[in-house]
């Protein structure tokens, strides 16, 4: 049993395979360990609604935008991202508040017998920790960012309300493939049966990969075509866009013209959520984006 947060983190970092430390050997080629851990905890991933976000570039900012807007709309919103920059607890948040150190200690103590039996990776543990926390805290919805790839990523045991795939580029080619279509195939693995998928940027080299997977899963696919314009006024960024056929304008804190595609994908995903019963106004979108 661990009595301190520091002891617990030391155990997680030193005893479990971690991609940042040991590289590709920490990347499991199936979801067996994650599913076994979830089963041991009563399948917490089935106890809350979610959005799944994959891609090469933009998935982190997309996940943060979605979580911020959903929080502004009054929903108790979980957010799982990786890796962390300074503190492990950054990975798991509800309404912007990081998971408590006490929960991390309690969780690891609770599941240590299963860790000894299943021998999961560091990432598999953190994913299931997030699921358990979101289920215990009864979030209305959680935004779940893929760690690496999609098809074999530990997060890919959820059935989301909507999936979002951002830009596809060359990343982790040793594990995901040496061409954009091969990499896109791995990202397309998050597309689920009859669950809508939003593609933030139509890239002709990989569009067919997503279309084929969506057709196989009978999943509605939306290549976002929303008009989004970004202009800089001094130190601030102004965004003009359309949400539910209404013109919206807001100040935006993230620099970079590439955010146009991410913003368009976020707005399309939010419209999918409203089709599935969520209530999100244009004012709440603007508030969350700012």
Domain contains 140 = yes
Query: What is residue 26's predicted lDDT score, i.e. its pLDDT?
Result: 42
List b or e across 18-55, with b for residues whose CB sees 16 or more CB atoms inside 10 angstroms.
bbeeeeeebbbeebebbbbbbebbeebbeebbbbbbbb
CA–CA distance, 174 with 4 (Å, rounded to integer): 37
Nearest-10 Cα torsion for 212, 217, 219, 224: -30
**CATH code for position 75:** 3.40.1190.10
Domain contains 243 = no
Task: Name the pTM for this structure.
Answer: 0.94
Q: 135 near 48, Cβ under 8 Å? A: yes
Domain contains 273 = no
Query: What is residue 23's predicted lDDT score, i.e. its pLDDT?
Result: 46
Query: What is residue 18's predicted lDDT score, i.e. its pLDDT?
Result: 54
* 123 Ramachandran zone, left/alpha/beta (phi>0; psi -120 to 50): alpha
Instruction: Give the pLDDT of the chain (290 residues) as one tens digit per residue.
Output: 999 999 999 999 887 765 444 444 444 568 999 999 999 999 999 999 999 999 988 999 999 999 999 999 999 999 999 988 899 999 999 999 999 999 999 999 999 999 999 989 889 999 999 999 999 999 999 999 999 889 999 999 999 999 999 999 876 555 566 799 999 999 999 999 999 999 999 999 999 999 999 999 999 999 998 999 998 877 778 999 999 999 999 999 877 777 899 999 999 999 999 999 999 999 999 999 99
Query: What is residue 177's predicted lDDT score, i.e. its pLDDT?
Result: 66
Q: 197 near 165, Cβ under 8 Å? A: yes
Domain contains 253 = no
Domain contains 270 = no
Domain contains 106 = yes
* 190 Ramachandran zone, left/alpha/beta (phi>0; psi -120 to 50): alpha
Domain contains 22 = no
Domain contains 37 = yes
Query: What is residue 169's predicted lDDT score, i.e. its pLDDT?
Result: 87
Q: How many domains does the chain have?
A: 1
Domain that holds residue 88: 5-17+30-225
Query: What is residue 24's predicted lDDT score, i.e. its pLDDT?
Result: 47
Show the 3-state SS of the chain.
CCCCHHHHHHHHHHHCCCHHHHHHHHCCCCCHHHHHHHHHCCCHHHCCEEEEEECCECHHHHHHHHHHHHHHCCCCEEEECCCCCCCHHHHEEECCEECCHHHHHHHHHHHHHHHHHHCCCHHHHHHHHHHHHHHHCCCCEEEEECCCCCCCCCCCCCCCCEEEECECCCCCHHHHCCCHHHHHHHHHHHCCCCCCEEECCCCHHHHHHHHHHHHHHCCCEEECCCCCEEEEECCEEEEEEEECCEEEEEEECCCCCCHHHHHHHHHHHHHHHHHCCCCCCHHHHHHHHC
Query: What is residue 20's predicted lDDT score, i.e. its pLDDT?
Result: 43
């Amino acid at each position: 049993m661990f009595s301190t947060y520091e002891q617990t983190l030391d155990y997680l970092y030193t005893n479990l395979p971690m991609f940042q430390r040991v590289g590709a050997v920490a990347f499991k080629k199936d979801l067996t360990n994650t599913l076994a851990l979830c089963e041991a905890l009563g399948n917490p991933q089935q106890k809350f609604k979610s959005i799944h976000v994959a891609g090469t570039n933009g998935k982190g900012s997309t996940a943060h935008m979605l979580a911020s807007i959903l929080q502004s709309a009054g929903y108790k919103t979980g957010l799982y991202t990786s890796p962390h920059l300074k503190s492990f607890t950054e990975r798991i948040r509800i309404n912007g508040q990081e998971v408590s150190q006490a929960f991390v200690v309690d969780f690891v103590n609770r599941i240590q017998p299963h860790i000894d039996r299943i021998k999961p990776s560091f990432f598999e543990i953190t994913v299931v920790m997030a699921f358990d926390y979101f289920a215990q805290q009864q979030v209305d919805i959680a935004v779940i960012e893929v760690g690496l790839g999609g098809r074999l990523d530990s997060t890919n045991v959820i059935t989301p309300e909507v999936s979002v795939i951002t830009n596809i580029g060359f990343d982790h080619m040793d594990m995901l493939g040496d061409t954009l279509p091969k990499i896109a195939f791995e990202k397309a693995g998050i597309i689920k049966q009859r669950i809508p998928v939003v593609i933030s940027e139509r890239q002709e080299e990989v569009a067919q990969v997503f279309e084929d997977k969506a057709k196989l899963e009978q999943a509605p696919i939306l290549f976002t075509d929303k008009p989004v314009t970004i202009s800089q006024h001094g130190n601030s960024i102004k965004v003009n866009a359309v949400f539910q056929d209404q013109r919206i304008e807001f100040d935006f804190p993230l620099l970079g013209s590439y955010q146009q595609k991410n913003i368009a994908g976020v707005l399309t995903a939010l419209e999918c959520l409203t089709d599935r019963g969520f209530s999100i106004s244009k004012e709440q979108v603007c508030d969350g984006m700012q």
